[in-house]
Structure 1
């Protein structure tokens, strides 16, 4: 049965690039979080949204305009366990892309070997969207991927951060927290959550994505985002990643401007050497070491 639009609403289309960031991205910048969608690929049911089509070629054009060198393609929830669109993208750009898949926690080693050869470097847990893997899958997934040096990528709610602090460090794997753990940035309520994120980043395998401020606040100028970026950059410069979150799924108003988003992150980071760590070096180590 097809879902009605009210059950899985159609996202806004992405905004075309009309200008470039005021300051170019560091040479070799790596976009660690984006999605692609193909018109004939079946969508999961149930799902949280219906995507606009945004192909690998569309992202490549976007990356070329902005000077993005490489990318990490993240499996969107609307495709569930069907990673075919992602795998086709990796096959088309094997030197430029790595992938984060969603797979059955019971998957065998042979399948992980196959995916690793194709450029997959992690598995996504997503507790916010229909079709995502639950946090309770972390232990089984960690056991399956540990010898491959993959990471767990976690899209979670902020009230799950304390659970992560207990659950993740003993797993002895790398892990990445998407979108600042969806910490609400309005007012000063974010400070305890950022301290909790810092504690996760204290772990040798813990990383945090400085991504999607428009998901964290409705205030003009993304109030609080710059202060959070500066706070984390001061304490954990080697554990931060940048991603575009292109094409900005699950938005039905106020589609962001990509150049403006990049400007805000770069302004908050400030120091060019620090920017190079966050935009290039940390992601190169985590995803492109082989």
Structure 2
């Protein structure tokens, strides 16, 4: 084991479902953000974490128990440019899954066409983890994938949000922001960050994933996440996406309960019409139109 590997701590194992959410998810719910890991799959070096094993079979069971109809599998940083595990999952469940890959910015059009036929619908930029693509690669990638109708998925820091519209101006493809852009939930700065997300959704074809509150606060009783979700749903319900973030990587001192996470989102968005957009319709249109 290299020194770099030793610096990548092992994630906590996910919690098993012990109950279902008090209210069922809307029929047709799409989980737009989850990862899978398999024992023996080569890990990238350097990397930010070492995953606990959670396979596609595990997610199929998890999603089936919760009534999740379909999912969008996102390439994790620990596999770098090696998308084989993701592509195997898409091949096994072609009607149920779509994928977001990480590829070299100079990838040939023929390879992008092959990935598209396998169910890939986007490329991920990740400025927060070792092994992720930098934001500088976004414009080159956007030019390569725009003709395929893919999205550009961004896992970025909140201070990068104000510049995204300018950085990616004219790219002619949807942009998806992971985990509310990791904005801090402190009440004194919350409105400024919510306004930044709204401006981005107004200025470009941008969607925001209302996911993973534990990445924004250590206090799971913090109402900030629900308040942000409610505020964005009031103005941009057609631009929000829900995802489980299963199996909750990069956690070492506390693992969330999936039923509680879903209930938090349901409490924030209690209008059935709005909930249907966020849990079902927006993702259907963005990822499963073909």
User: When the two structures are superposed, what TM-score results if normalisation uses the length of structure 2?
Assistant: 0.98
Which digits, 9 at most, give the CA deviation of each residue in 1:228-248, with x for residues without a partner? Answer: 011000000100000000000
Per the TM alignment, residue 174 of structure 1 is displaced from its structure 2 partner at its CA by: 0.5
Distance across 1 between alignment mates of 2:11 and 2:136:
29
Greater CA drift, 159-168 or 173-182: 159-168
Per the TM alignment, residue 40 of structure 1 is displaced from its structure 2 partner at its CA by: 1.5
Per the TM alignment, residue 162 of structure 1 is displaced from its structure 2 partner at its CA by: 1.5
Contact 1:213–1:222 under 8 Å retained in 2: no
Distance across 1 between alignment mates of 2:42 and 2:267:
40
RMSD: 1.1
Which digits, 9 at most, give the CA deviation of each residue in 1:187-228, with x for residues without a partner? Answer: 331211111111111145210000000000112323301110
Q: How many residues align?
A: 290
What stretches of structure 2 of length at least 5 have no aligned partner?
A: none
Contact 1:154–1:176 under 8 Å retained in 2: yes
Counterpart position of 2:119: 119
Distance across 2 between alignment mates of 1:222 and 1:101:
33
Give the 4+ runs in structure 1 shifted more than 3 A.
3-6
Secondary structure of the residue aligned to 1:49 is coil
Counterpart position of 2:211: 211
Distance across 1 between alignment mates of 2:141 and 2:44:
22
Distance across 2 between alignment mates of 1:188 and 1:247:
31
Distance across 2 between alignment mates of 1:210 and 1:4:
32
Counterpart position of 2:101: 101
Counterpart position of 2:229: 229
| 2:242 is aligned with 1:274 | no
| 2:41 is aligned with 1:41 | yes
Per the TM alignment, residue 170 of structure 1 is displaced from its structure 2 partner at its CA by: 2.2
| 2:173 is aligned with 1:152 | no
Counterpart position of 1:241: 241
Secondary structure of the residue aligned to 2:256 is coil
User: When the two structures are superposed, what TM-score results if normalisation uses the length of structure 1?
Assistant: 0.98
Contact 1:11–1:252 under 8 Å retained in 2: yes
What stretches of structure 1 of length at least 5 have no aligned partner?
A: none
